[in-house]
């Protein structure tokens, strides 16, 4: 069990080296195109500066996102750049459900008033089959059971995924992404 009141929810990152290489190539390629346009077309330099700023901000927004479970308050929190903070309490959530993203991932959707937070649970996509740690899944199930005991279907679904036979097996995630 964690000793602090915050438990970080890790991202389900791809295990495939080719995914990371193609992402790096896309970012470097976009930067190279912007540099070429800026060097050869002086009239478009304001566009190049704006597009470069958008590219840098997009990369920083992706890298700057943190998600955690606040055990003391019973809520899920997502923070971007340590500035934009969204929190949804388990007890006040309008919807807590396992959903598919139609891309091969199973997410835990926690929808509150005006905001939704999606926690990655399992994936079987171009990045390979992967799943969250069984201890984290059991902790999520315990938190939901403590703060929103009426959500029994979600709790049983998370506990089923935490069992040893489904730890690294995402075969229950069909190509469309919706859980079976």
Structural contact between residues 146 and 128, judged by C-beta atoms closer than 8 angstroms? no
- Distance of alpha carbon 6 from alpha carbon 123, whole angstroms: 24
For the CA atoms of 77, 79, 84, 90, the dihedral, rounded to the nearest 10 degrees, stands at -10
Report whether 107 contacts 125 (CB < 8 A): no
Comparing CA positions, the residue from 168, 138, 139, 157 lying closest to residue 96 is 157
Cα separation values, 112 from 15, 88, 93, 95, 115, Å? 32, 5, 5, 7, 5
pTM assigned to the model: 0.72
Beta strands in 81-149 (DSSP E): 84-89, 95-100, 105-111, 116-125, 128-131
Spatial neighbors of 76 by CB under 8 A, at least 6 apart, are: 9, 67, 68, 69, 70, 87, 88, 90, 110, 117, 119
Average pLDDT score over the chain: 84
pLDDT of residue 151: 87
Q: Looking at the DSSP assignment, which residues form a beta bridge with residue 66?
A: 79
Closest of 123, 119, 117 to residue 105, by C-alpha: 123
CA-wise closest residue to 106 among 124, 90, 89, 88: 124
pLDDT exceeds 90 at position 43: yes
Q: What is the pLDDT of residues 130-144, one digit of tens each?
A: 889 999 999 999 999
For 124-133, the pLDDT digits (tens) are: 877 778 889 9
pLDDT of residue 61: 83
Cβ atoms of 116 and 76 within 8 Å: the answer is no
Burial class of residue 17 in the structure, from the number of CB atoms within 10 Å of its CB (0-12 exposed, 13-18 middle, 19+ buried): exposed
Q: Which of 2-6, 72-76, 116-120, 132-136 is predicted with the least confidence, judged by mean pLDDT?
A: 2-6
User: Quick one: pLDDT at residue 4?
Assistant: 66
């Amino acid at each position: 069990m964690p000793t602090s009141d915050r438990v970080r929810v890790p991202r389900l990152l791809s295990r495939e080296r080719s995914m990371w290489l193609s992402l790096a190539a896309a970012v470097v390629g976009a930067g190279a195109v912007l540099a070429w346009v800026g060097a050869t077309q002086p009239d478009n330099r304001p566009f190049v500066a704006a597009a470069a700023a958008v590219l840098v901000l997009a990369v920083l927004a992706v890298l700057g996102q943190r998600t955690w479970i606040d055990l003391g308050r019973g809520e899920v929190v997502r923070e971007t750049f340590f500035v934009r903070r969204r929190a949804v309490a388990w007890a006040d959530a309008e919807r807590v459900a396992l959903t598919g993203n139609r891309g091969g991932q199973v997410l835990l959707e926690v929808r509150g008033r005006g905001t939704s937070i999606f926690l990655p649970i399992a994936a079987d996509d171009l990045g390979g089959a992967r799943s969250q740690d069984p201890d984290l899944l059991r902790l999520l199930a315990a938190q939901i059971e403590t703060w929103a005991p009426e959500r029994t279907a979600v709790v049983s679904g998370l506990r089923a995924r935490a069992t040893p036979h489904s730890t690294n097996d995402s075969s229950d995630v069909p190509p469309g992404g919706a859980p079976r």
